[in-house]
Chain A
Amino acid sequence: MRRSIKSGIDSTAGFGLYAFSHDELESIHDATLQILQDTGIKVMSEAALEIFHGGGASVERFNGYGIVKIPPYLVEECAFYAPRTVVYDARNPNDDYVSEPNRIGFTTFGGCINIIDPVTREIRLATKKDCGDIARISDYLNEICVVERSVNSMDMQNETQSVHNFEAMLTNTGNHIFLGADSARSINCMIELASLCVGGNDIFQKRPIFTVSVSPLSPLGLPGNECELIMEAATSGMGILILPMGLSGGTSPPTLAGVLVTHNAEVLSSIALAQLTRKGTPCTYGSTSTILDLRFGTASIGSPEYGMINASVAKLARYYRLPCFVGGGASDSKKPDIQSGYEFTLSTTLSALAGGNILFGSGVLEQGLTFDLAKLIMDAEMMRMIQVATQGISVTDENLAVEVIHEVGSDGTYITHDTSLKHMRNQSRSNLFDRRNRKDWVELTRGKAIQERAYEAAMDILQNHKPLPLPDNAAREIREVVEAFDAKERMDKNDDVDESKRKIEQF
Chain B
Amino acid sequence: MKKDTTYKDILEARGVNRRDFLKFCSLMSVYLGFSSTLVPKIVRAMETKPRIPVIWLHGLECTCCSESFIRSSHPITADIVLNMISLDYDDTLSAAAGDQLEAVRKQIMKEYKGQYILAVEGNAPTKDDGVYCMVNGDSFTNMLKETAADAMAVIAWGSCASFGCVQNAKPNPTGATPIHKLIKDKPLVNVPGCPPIAEVMTGVITHLLTFGKLPELDRLKRPKAFYGTRIHDKCYRRPYFDAGMFVESFDDEAANKGWCLYKMGCKGPTTFNACSTVKWNEGTSYPIQAGHPCLGCSEPGFWDNGPFYTRLADVSFLGTNANADTIGKVAVGAAAAGMAAHAVGTAIKNKKQNPLTTNEGEG
Q: Do A and B come from one complex?
A: no
